[in-house]
Amino acid sequence: MSDIETAGRPLPIVRGLRGRCPRCGEGGLFEGFLTVRPRCASCGLDFGFADSGDGPMVFVILLGGGIVVFAALMTEILFQPPYWLHALLWLPLVLLVTLAPLRMLKGLLIALQYHHKAAEGRLGGSGGGAA
């Protein structure tokens, strides 16, 4: 049995990267490109807990932006191309490095929420507070 698989099934994190249900790995996690399904068609897991928020976008923007800015600066320093060539080079690259990993990262964060049983913070309630 490999490190990635347990009992013949991939870990929830790998399932999330693949866009599959974090519990069973069979049903799809997304309806469209980034819209999360209400529940798994295979095992019935309710995806109501899944709230990745802006987390995936922040990671993608910071990492992708760093890559594109570094590449654009190096190109400008080394070759000094005209501005139209910069636009021709970097606009498609921006789309590639932001849209391609976005779905995988959203699936990953949802799978991590499931794996660690993450929930919203609650104020009030009983216990845990000082008298």
State mean pLDDT over 42-46: 93
Confidence (pTM): 0.79
Which stretches does DSSP call E strand in 37-128? Answer: none
What is the pLDDT, as a whole number, of residue 2?
Answer: 43
**Average model confidence (pLDDT) for the chain?**
87
**Cβ-based neighbour number of residue 107 at 10 Å:** 28
Average pLDDT over residues 6-16: 77
Q: Please provide the DSSP assignment of 64-128 as one string.
A: HHHHHHHHHHHHHHHH---HHHHHHHHHHHHHHHHHHHHHHHHHHHHHHHHHTT------S-SSS
pLDDT tens per residue, range 53-105: 888 999 999 999 999 999 999 999 999 999 999 999 999 999 999 999 999 99
Report residue 36: phi and psi, to 5°: -80, 135
